[in-house]
Amino acid sequence: MTSISRAEVHFYRPNQAAVRLECDPSGTGAEFQEILLFCCFAVEHLSRVGEKMASVATLIALLLINLRGNLHRIAEEESPGSPQVRAYNGISARKRFVADLTSAPDGIRFCLRWKGFSFLFRRKGYYATHSILVLLRYMARTRLHDAGYLAALSLACSEIGARYLRGEFSSGAPLETKARIIALRVAGKWTVERLRAVV
């Protein structure tokens, strides 16, 4: 079975964004697809930022590690300086990230597009960091009472950050394959048998 998912993060202001998230499987498949999509999104951002601004990517990785166990707080509180999540109004922002994921039994394809940003814009690290946090906050809010889902998403953050700091994203298998491995490792309650139809 092939599954298609999409995440869009629309920046209406530098510190204010909305998320549009679509995952076609239902039930457990949708939960796993969301976590897989987040893993691909964060890994791709870290790798792109790391190519030009290694110190910023390191800070993003450390932030992801430190988020573990704090997703309830991230979902419920919008502290000063943190990105604010607004309802998506159906209007595309000029600055936005669009992530498409196609998952099939023989592998996955992931594409992250940066729209509305100049080729050499100076705030790449800022928007990459905020887009990860906005997507994470949105996902945690939508499944706030699903402890298993939040635990898996929290563990995914930690794994992504730790693997970046160990240099695992700079060589070897394609990034989407590494993201899939992380998603499968953190899936917890979703056994391999139940996931076979969606991965």
pLDDT in tens, 158-183: 999 999 999 998 877 789 889 998 99
CA distance 39 to 54: 19
CA distance 69 to 78: 17
Residue 25 has pLDDT above 80, yes or no: no
pLDDT top residue among 92 and 67: 92
- Please name the amino acid found at residue 150: L
pLDDT top residue among 180 and 80: 180
- Mean pLDDT, the chain, as a whole number? 85
pLDDT in tens, 103-145: 887 788 999 999 988 765 556 788 999 999 999 999 999 988 8
Distance of CA 102 to the CA centre of its chain: 15
**168: which 2 tokens?**
């695992």
Mean pLDDT of 10-18: 92
Question: Is there a contact between 35 and 183 (Cβ–Cβ < 8 Å)?
Answer: yes
pLDDT at 131 (0 to 100) = 94
pLDDT at 199 (0 to 100) = 45
pLDDT at 193 (0 to 100) = 44
**79: which 2 tokens?**
């502290």
Residue 29 has pLDDT above 90, yes or no: no
pLDDT at 123 (0 to 100) = 61
